[in-house]
Amino acid sequence: MKINSIKWKILKYNIIIIVLLVALTTVIFNIAVRLYFEKDIIEQLNKVAEHIEKTALQHGPDFFPVPRKEPPPKPQPSNDIYRYYFMLDRSSKESITVLNADYILLDKNKDLITPSPKNPYNPPDNTLNEIISKIGNLENFQGEKQVKFYLSNTEYAAVIKSVSDKNSFGLGWIIIYSSLQKVNQLQLGINFILFIIFIFSSIIIIIFSSFLSKKISAPLSSLNQHISSIGERKFDTKINIPVYDEFREVITNFNSMSNKLEIHDRAQKTFLQNASHEFRTPLMSIQSYAEGIKYNVIDTNTAANIIISETNRMTHLVEDLLYLSRLDAIEENYTYTLLNFTDLLGNCIKRISGIALSNNIKIVTNNTKEIIKVYGDEEKLSRAIINVANNCIRYADNIVEIHMMPICSSKIKLTICDDGPGFDLNDLPHIFDRFYKGEKGNFGLGLAISKNIIERHKGKITAENSTAGAIFIIELCIANNC
C-alpha cells in the first residue's frame, strides 16, 4: 500500500481515531471506576463499622464489667476477650459486603485491646502504627473519619470511629480497614478487556477502511483512465459507474467536459477543412490566371483584376480568422466603456449605407431619439452589428429593417431583418458556425464573430425566419441593470 494513497490515509486516520478513542475511554473509565469503587468501599466499611460499633457497645459491658465510681480499668486479655472478638468478627460478616474487612479495637489511650500478642486478630505492627498515626491528631475528634494509606505498595481504606463518649468500659476507638488490592486487580481486568476490544476494533477498522477506500478510490481510478483516454483524443468514452453524491457532480462535469471537447474537436476539424477549402479556391484561381498570363492565353487586365479580387478575398479571410482567434483567446482585451447605444447604432447604419446603396437595398430604421446606455467595447460591438447587417444586405431583395426598443428595464432588443428568401430550415441551427456552407451560399466567419462578441457582452443573438425573410434578434443589457 502506497504511503500517499487514499487507502493508506483513510486507514491511518481511522487507526489514529480508534487509538485516541480507546485511550480516552480507558482513562475516563478507569477514573470513573476507581472513584466509584472507592466510594463503594467506604460505604461498605461504614456499614461494617456501624454493625461492629453497635455490637461492641451493646455487649461491651458484659465482657468489661466496670465498678461504679472507679476509673475504667484497662481491658486485659482473657477468654472473655476472645469471645468478645469472636462476636465482633461475626458482626462484621453479617453486613452484605465483598470486602475482607479487618478491625482494630483501641482503648482511650490508643492501646490495642488484644486477646494475646500472637492472636490472629492482632494486626501487623506496621499496619497498627500507620493507623494510629492517622488518628494521632484526632485527640478531640468525635464521630468518624475516612482515611487512605499505603503499606508495602498496597493501598488501604479505613474508617476510624471514636466511641469513647458512648461507653464507660474503656473502649475508645473502632477502626475498620480493608485492602484495595482487589480494586486494582479489577481495574487490570477491565484494562485487559479494553485492550482485547481495541485489538478486535482495529481489525474491524482495517477491514472496513480497506473496503471503504476501495469504494472511494474506484471512481478516481476510473476518472484517471478516462483522463488518459482524453489525452489520446478519445472523447466518446463516458464514466458510467455508481458513485457517492460528492463524486457525482465531478463525474457529471467530467462527462460534460468530455462531450464539449468532443464537439470542439469535431468543430476544429471541420473548421480546418473548411478553412483549407476557402483558401484553396482563391489560390487555385490565382494560380490559373497567373499561368494564363505567363503563356499569353488570357487577357492580362482581366487576369490581373481577378487575381486582385481573389487576393482581397484571401486578405479579408485571413483578417477574419485572426480576429476570431483573438476573440477566442483569453488574453484578448475588451475595453468596456459607457456607450450611447443610440449613437453607436446610428454610426453603424452610416457605415453600411454605402454597401446598401451599391446593392440597391433600402435601409429602414425607427430613428428613435431615446438615449440608452450600455457598457461595451465600441469597436467590437460595432463590428458585430455591421457583420449581421451586411449579411442581411447580401440576401435582401429590396429592404433591410433595423429597429431598436427596450424590452424591459434591464434589456434592449435590436432586430435586423431583410425581405430575402430567409433561412433554409436545415441551415438555421448552424448559421453561427464557422465556415458553415448552406445550400444557398456561404455564411463565412462574420456571423461567428458577431456571436462571439455579443456573448462576451453578456448578450444573446438568435436568428429565425419571419413572414418576409430572415430576422436576427440581438439582446443586450442596459447599463447598471444587468
Q: What is the pLDDT of residues 135-167, one digit of tens each?
A: 555 555 667 777 777 777 777 778 787 777 777
How many residues in the chain? 482
How is domain 245-328 classified at the CATH fold level? Helix Hairpins (1.10.287)
Q: Are 176 and 101 in contact (CB under 8 A)?
A: yes
pTM of the predicted structure, to 2 decimals = 0.47
Distance CA 105, CA 64 (A): 13
Q: Which one-letter amino acid corresponds to residue 286?
A: I
Beta strands in 241-378 (DSSP E): 337-340, 362-365, 373-376
Distance CA 18, CA 35 (A): 25
- pLDDT at residue number 98: 47
The position carrying cell 486578405 is: 315
Give first-to-last CA distance, the chain, whole Å. Answer: 54
Note the CATH number of domain 6-187. 3.30.450
Residue 47 pLDDT more than 50? Answer: yes
What own/partner pairs with CB < 8 Å and gap ≥ 24 does 306-311 have?
Answer: 310/282, 310/283, 310/285, 310/286, 311/282, 311/286
Residue 371 pLDDT more than 80? Answer: yes
The per-residue pLDDT for range 255-269, each reduced to its tens digit, is 788 777 777 777 677
Residue 308 pLDDT more than 70? Answer: yes
- Mean pLDDT in residue range 99-103: 67
**In which residue ranges of the chain is CATH 3.30.450 found?**
6-187
Residue 366 pLDDT more than 90? Answer: no
Residue 328 pLDDT more than 80? Answer: no
**In which residue ranges of the chain is CATH 1.10.287.130 found?**
245-328
Lowest-confidence pick of 28-32, 240-244, 340-344: 240-244
**Residues in contact with 461: Cβ distance below 8 Å, sequence separation at least 6, in sequence order:** 384, 388, 432, 450, 451, 454, 455, 472, 473, 474, 475
Residue 381 pLDDT more than 80? Answer: yes
Confidence of residue 303 (pLDDT cuts 50, 70, 90): confident
Question: Which three cell numbers mark 460?
Answer: 444573446
The percent of residues in the chain predicted with pLDDT above 70, rounded, is: 73
- Mean pLDDT in residue range 272-301: 81
Confidence of residue 459 (pLDDT cuts 50, 70, 90): very high
- pLDDT at residue number 385: 93
How is domain 337-477 classified at the CATH fold level? Heat Shock Protein 90 (3.30.565)
Average pLDDT taken over every residue of the chain: 76
| C-alpha 430: how far from chain center | 42
- pLDDT at residue number 472: 94
What residue spans of 117-180 are helical by DSSP H?
125-134
Residue 246 pLDDT more than 70? Answer: no
Residue 219 pLDDT more than 80? Answer: no
- pLDDT at residue number 416: 94
Residue 394 pLDDT more than 60? Answer: yes
- pLDDT at residue number 399: 93
Q: Are 369 and 340 in contact (CB under 8 A)?
A: no
Residue 83 pLDDT more than 70? Answer: no
The position carrying cell 433600402 is: 362
